Amino acid sequence: MSNATEIHQALGAFDKTTSRWGRITMIIGLFFSLAAPAYLVFFAGLDIELSGIITAFAALAAVFGVIWIVEPLTYFPILGASSMYQAFMIGNISNKLLPAAMIAQSTIGVKPGTRKGELASVAAICGAATVHLASLFIFVGLLGTWLVSVIPVDIIQTVQFYILPTVMGAVVVQAIVSQKAPRSAVIALVVSVIVVFFAQLYKPFGLFSTAVAVIATAVLAWVFRDRKTLGTPEDVPVDATPEGPVY
């Protein structure tokens, strides 16, 4: 079986290179992404307290902490080890990288989960990254400032004042559609309305409102889950991943 050993060695070398350099490049990417705020906080002469950052981070962790861990767990079986280091640095995984990988695999007729499929998805993600970096660089990096400079001031003010409700309106709908969990959506709506109402009555509560709403919804969604389809772990389809571009 010298053929089998050859395959084994070649793939071993591929795994070694990608996991080694994948990790190294990701750590450097991590460094650059943290260097920007570190400069603002420590060297730009801004009045930002470290305790303020810790508070903000704690608020964020309460809201997204679960998702930080669950996302890598969700994507690992789909992407494979080597692509994990690509995907979580390039971002926009479900709306761009997963479709790219799937289209590449079906174009050359290989199945996901096979070694050929893994190489196809690595190549596809490289291709997607190339297009993505180029379009970001040209349309946002080079032309973005110019685009903004030709837009009248009062339109820019509208964007600045109302961007959050605008983004959230669309994103909420997208999240509901992609999750396909109407019970959770109803629970989230009821909890959010109650929480926002209390935050209006008692302003200091506003600080914790997001975290309270998220934790309460998560607990209630679990308690009131549809036990017919989610009763036992075995019933859950393995490939039941969200399809929408929210993740």
Partner 1 sequence: MQIPAILPAVADSNSTDILALANSPVLWACAIGVFLVIIVQSVIYMKAARVAAPHIGMSQAELKTSFRAGAISALGPSLAVVLVAVALLTIFGTPAVLVRIGLIGSVSYETAAAAIAAKTAGAELGGPTYTQAVFGLALAAMSLGGAMWMIATLILTPLLKRGDSALRKVNPAIMLVVPGAAMVAAFMVLGIGELPKSWLHVVAFVSSAAIMTILMVVAKRVNKPWIKEWALGIAIILALAITYAATRL
Asked if 165 is part of the footprint of partner 1 (rule: CB under 8 A), the reply reads: yes
If the CB atoms of residues 142 and 202 are measured against partner 1, the closer one turns out to be: 142
Count the residues of the shown chain that bind partner 1, applying the rule CB under 8 A.
Answer: 170
Return the residue of 1, 111, 112, 116 that touches partner 1, per CB under 8 A.
Answer: 116
Spatial contact of 88 and 68, defined as CB atoms under 8 Å apart = no
Tell the smallest beta-carbon distance from residue 113 to partner 1 (Å). 14
Spatial contact of 210 and 58, defined as CB atoms under 8 Å apart = no
Asked if 205 is part of the footprint of partner 1 (rule: CB under 8 A), the reply reads: no
Spatial contact of 183 and 225, defined as CB atoms under 8 Å apart = yes
Asked if 68 is part of the footprint of partner 1 (rule: CB under 8 A), the reply reads: yes
Decide: helix, strand or coil at residue 88: helix
Asked if 222 is part of the footprint of partner 1 (rule: CB under 8 A), the reply reads: yes
Return the residue of 73, 150, 228, 239 that touches partner 1, per CB under 8 A.
Answer: 73
To the nearest 5 percent, what fractions of the chain are helix, strand and coil?
85, 0, 15
Residues 125-154 that bind partner 1 (CB under 8 A): 125-133, 135-137, 139-142, 144-145, 147-149, 154
Query: How many C-beta atoms surround the C-beta of residue 151 within 10 A?
Result: 11
Asked if 85 is part of the footprint of partner 1 (rule: CB under 8 A), the reply reads: yes
Backbone torsion region of residue 213, taken as left when φ is above 0, otherwise alpha when ψ lies between -120 and 50, otherwise beta: alpha
If the CB atoms of residues 76 and 202 are measured against partner 1, the closer one turns out to be: 76
If the CB atoms of residues 161 and 202 are measured against partner 1, the closer one turns out to be: 161
Tell the smallest beta-carbon distance from residue 24 to partner 1 (Å). 9
Q: How far apart, in Å, are the Cα atoms of 233 and each of 5, 114, 224, 229?
A: 37, 25, 16, 10
Asked if 22 is part of the footprint of partner 1 (rule: CB under 8 A), the reply reads: yes
Residues 27-46 that bind partner 1 (CB under 8 A): 27-30, 32-41, 43-46
Which pair of tokens denotes residue 55?
A: 């508070």
Asked if 198 is part of the footprint of partner 1 (rule: CB under 8 A), the reply reads: no
Asked if 113 is part of the footprint of partner 1 (rule: CB under 8 A), the reply reads: no
DSSP 136: I
Which pair of tokens denotes residue 153?
A: 């001031």
Return the residue of 66, 111, 113, 202 that touches partner 1, per CB under 8 A.
Answer: 66
Integer Cα distance of 202 and 182 in angstroms: 30
Which amino acid is present at 29?
Answer: G
Which pair of tokens denotes residue 172?
A: 């909420």
Asked if 213 is part of the footprint of partner 1 (rule: CB under 8 A), the reply reads: yes
If the CB atoms of residues 113 and 141 are measured against partner 1, the closer one turns out to be: 141
